[in-house]
Amino acid sequence: MLGWFDANLVSILNGFAIGSLLFILAVGLSIVFGMMDVLNLAHGAFFLIGSYLAVTFVAGESWGGFLTALGVAALIGLLAGGALSGLTEPLARRPILDQALLTLGISLIVAEVLSIIYGNDVFSVPPPPGLAESIDVAGRAYPAYRLMLIAVGLVLALVVWLVVEKTSIGALVRASVADREMVSAMGVDNRKVKFAVLGVGSLLATVAGVLAAPVYGARPGLDETILLLALVVIVIGGRGSVRGALVGALVIGQVESLGRALVPDLASFILFGTLALVLIVRPRGLFAGKVAHS
């Protein structure tokens, strides 16, 4: 048992790193979908904006460039989410599929614009100084940057959970999910709530793009791959739940890392096999949050 653990320690650790990254990516999508009933298929494209911003600003290895990229990505994410909130407003009373189609269209446009600006080449982004080296873990090399991702993911999970569950802003968001009419009767414009939630959700996508750039790089098509993973995380964790997004992301992280290491021959099936299993056992996900009435 100890021998097995020793041999697979790096894969388990890597599962946590990938899981953290997936959490940062998926939690924004989950909040927007679960709380505001908007399935934002442009989430992957927003992620890719972040990755390309990292390409632009992280020239050479520097913390300055990396933090600039994070700041700019946060600002652009906020604005993009706000714009998206305005665009989906006229469709608010239409079926969820209509909004999804709108966001799908936006994602195609964003991806095409990125391809016009940056071309179709593959870019890689160096990690910030001090994190570019590999650290010795149980006799095997492991990239330091991925260890930092685990820490960032856990801190962010705590912050998002505290904001949603323990602050008055979080209370307002949860209230407008539970009963929109009542909240607006009390003098709160719930379009503003939607604006803020979409803004923050999209901000998390672009920030995740910057954070993922030293691992995944930036290239056309990455947006779709990433969106698919985020959707799987949400289905497994249950939409609208911070805890669900965290557990879903960690499960998928381990499936993609430890699972693939143990049964490489089934690498293509194992992700969707897990998805199917969860859907059979818990069709609404492991931790289904409160879902908006429509």
Partner 1 sequence: MTPPVPIRRRVITLFGAGSMALTLAACGGGSLGGEEGGAEGGGDGGGTVRVGLVIPQAGVYTPLGEDMQQGWDLWLDQNDGMMGDFDVETVIADEGEGPDTGVPAVQRLLTEDSVDALVGIVNSATALGVAEQVTEAEVPLIVANAGAEAITKDAASPYVWRSSFTNAQIAAAMGTHLAEEGIGPVYVMAPDYAAGQEVVAGFTEAYEAGGGTIAGQALTPFGTTQDFQPFLSGVQSSGAAATFVFYAGGEAVSYVQQYDEFGLKDSIPLYGSGFLTEGSVLDAQGESAVGVRTTLHYSTEIDNEANAEFVEAYQAAYDELPTTYAVQAYDAANVLGRALAEAGDVSGSAITEALDGLGEIDDSPRGPWSFTNQTPEQSIYLREVADEGGTLLNTVVEDLGVQPQP
State the residues that interact with partner 1 by CB under 8 A.
7-8, 10-11, 14, 18, 119-124, 126, 134, 140-143, 215-217, 219-222, 225, 256-261, 264, 267-268
Residues in the chain: 294
Closest CB 51 distance from partner 1, rounded Å: 12
Query: Between 46 and 195, whose beta carbon lies closer to partner 1?
Result: 46
Tokens at 2, concatenated: 């100890």
Closest CB 285 distance from partner 1, rounded Å: 22
**Cα separations (Å) of 130 from 24, 116, 135, 248?**
22, 33, 11, 30
Closest CB 175 distance from partner 1, rounded Å: 35
Tokens at 204, concatenated: 């998390």
Tokens at 75, concatenated: 């600002």
Contact between residue 49 and residue 76 where contact means Cβ atoms under 8 Å apart: yes
Closest CB 66 distance from partner 1, rounded Å: 17
In angstroms, the CA 175 to CA 180 distance is 7
Closest CB 84 distance from partner 1, rounded Å: 24
Contact between residue 45 and residue 207 where contact means Cβ atoms under 8 Å apart: no
Backbone angles phi, psi at 218, to 5 degrees: -140, 130
Query: Between 147 and 291, whose beta carbon lies closer to partner 1?
Result: 147
Query: Between 86 and 119, whose beta carbon lies closer to partner 1?
Result: 119
Per the DSSP assignment, residues forming a β-bridge with 140 are 137
Closest CB 92 distance from partner 1, rounded Å: 18
Query: Between 39 and 222, whose beta carbon lies closer to partner 1?
Result: 222
Nearest Cα to 258, choosing from 23, 18, 27, 24?
Answer: 18
Tokens at 249, concatenated: 């992301």
Q: What is the DSSP letter of 218?
A: B
In angstroms, the CA 119 to CA 110 distance is 13
Closest CB 173 distance from partner 1, rounded Å: 32
Closest CB 171 distance from partner 1, rounded Å: 38
Contact between residue 246 and residue 237 where contact means Cβ atoms under 8 Å apart: yes
DSSP H or E stretch at residue 140? strand 140-143
Contact between residue 182 and residue 190 where contact means Cβ atoms under 8 Å apart: no
Query: Between 194 and 260, whose beta carbon lies closer to partner 1?
Result: 260
Nearest Cα to 163, choosing from 53, 61, 290, 27?
Answer: 27
Q: What is the DSSP letter of 89?
A: G
